[in-house]
Structure 1
Amino acid sequence: MTSTVKADFFETVRERRAVKHYDASYKLSEQEIMELLEIAGSAPSAWNLQHWKFLAITDQAAKQKLLPIANGQKQVVDASVVVAVLGNLQANRNAEAVFGSAVQAGMMPEEIKANLINQIESAYANIPTVPRDEAIRNASLAAMQLMLAARAKGLDSCPMGGYNPGQFVEAFNVPEQYVPVLLVAIGKAATPARPSGRFPVSQTVVWNHF
């Protein structure tokens, strides 16, 4: 897949805004959406288990079904695509595929693979918070990368946490192994996003200890 847009990284970060109003006539192709998701999927993840699954909602009927679940937020129906970023509660099952390919490529000894898989399985089996924490943490990294990729391509996005996850799971038949993390609307802004301020870094950083 090739990109037709190049952008300065710092400009991309500074220009990204949560856009609420979209041009409903603007449509992304499946290929364009796949390219964005490919970039999102290059995000870092614990043990490289790639804890995310993307549900791309482009069909207008599906958007209308999502609208009341998302509290009537109109970007759901006007954006070109709404990507539901899901976290995999069973990402430990990806370990064999991830490390097996590394062994086959000569990049990892079999012994290290076995040790890593034992470490992962022990964490998932013995630490109750690990499956959900890792699912949400790592899927969130992919969601942020998705929004930056969209901005770099001249698109706009909006992360959405204001929806009913239980209703979403039921309406879209989400398997039990996935937990909804964020909805991300992507398209072309109809009106610019409202500027939002940020605390100065001097107010948000603590050096070495509290």
Structure 2
Amino acid sequence: METFDAIYGRRSIKHFHPDHELTDEEINKLMEAAIQSPTSFNIQHWRFVLVRDKETRQQLKAAAFNQAQVADASLLIVLTADLEAHGKEPDRYWRNSPPEVAEKLVKMLFGLYDKKPQLQRDEAMRSMGIAAQTIMIAAKDMGYDTGALVGYDPDKVAEVINLPDDHILGMMIVVGKAKQGAWGKPGQLSLEDVIVHDKFPGKP
């Protein structure tokens, strides 16, 4: 599938065929695409929780206000991020770079993010958002449908997946075969509504 076809064809699906399963090879292909997503300083702090166990799915469905797709989709991905990744063996993020470059960037990375919780959170949310879009477009290219969910009880989800204290939750993504298509797009804004050229108008 062409990239633009995948972008325009991707829709948020609510109803999936519960008996369809993705193969291990398909899941690996999808996640290999996901980790090509860019991150600041190549920190790669996303952590993808792949939930296939049916009992765990039911627990997460309950935590997501009983949205059927959480249990019915072929794969449930809970996007999380390690807020302290900047200090956990940061040399590995630049191991293939010239040593002097790696040393410089690792020092910059730690200096930028250490003890700055708001920046850590902001960067984590940016990175998870980029990875989520990569997953959804890649899945569409593979012939699968997806949906992104933020409607859930974060405390309950964190408990179910044993989220570490230094991690943060992002969105959930469901992947599978649509049982029912999405509605038509409810109201796409025009480019004139969303594009600002050069700068916002000055205050009156």
After TM superposition, the score normalised by the length of structure 1 is 0.90
Give 2:192's aligned amino acid. S
Q: Which amino acid aligns with 1:76?
A: V
SS in 1 for 2:57: helix
Q: Aligned pair 1:187/2:181, yes or no?
A: no
User: Residue 4 of structure 1 corresponds to which residue in structure 2?
Assistant: none
The residue aligned with 1:98 is 93
Say whether residues 1:176 and 2:144 are aligned partners: no
Identify the residue that residue 22 of structure 1 maps to in structure 2. 16
What's the counterpart of residue 108 of structure 2? 119
Deviation at 1:126, TM superposition (A): 4.8
The alpha carbon displacement at 1:94 in A equals 4.9
Determine the structure 2 residue equivalent to 1:52.
46
Q: Deviations over 1:25-81 (max 9, x none)?
A: 111112211211110110111011112111011111111111110111000111001
Measured in 2, the distance between the counterparts of 1:65 and 1:94 equals: 34
Q: So what's the TM-score if we normalise by structure 2? A: 0.93
Name structure 2 gaps, 5 residues minimum: none
Structure 2: how far apart are the matches of 1:64 and 1:78?
9
**Distance verdict in 2 for CA 1:53–1:128, change over 3 Å:** closer
Q: Which residue of 2 aligns with 1:201?
A: 191
Contact 1:91 1:135 in 2 (8 A): no
Which whole-Å CA distance do the structure 2 matches of 1:179 and 1:128 have between them?
A: 11
Could you tell me the percent identity over the aligned residues? 29
- Which residue of the other structure, out of 59, 77, 84, is the alignment partner of 1:65? 59
CA distance in 2, matches of 1:179, 1:195: 33
| Counterpart check, 1:155 vs 2:150 | no
- 3-state DSSP of counterpart to 2:28: helix
Question: How far, CA to CA, are the matches of 2:64 and 2:24 in structure 1?
Answer: 23
Q: Distance in 2 between matches of 1:50 and 1:157?
A: 23
* Alpha-carbon distance between aligned partners in 2 of 1:202 and 1:94, rounded to the nearest angstrom: 46
Which amino acid is the alignment partner of residue 27 of structure 1? E
The residue type paired with residue 199 of structure 2 is H
Q: Which runs of 5+ in 1 are unaligned?
A: 1-6
Shift of 1:160: 0.2
2:74 is equivalent to residue 80 of structure 1: yes
Task: Please list the CA deviations of residues 90-131 of structure 1 after superposition, one character each: whole Å capped at 9, or x if unmatched.
Answer: 1212521011x223xxxx2x2222221111111122533221
What letter corresponds to residue 118 of structure 2 in structure 1?
Answer: T
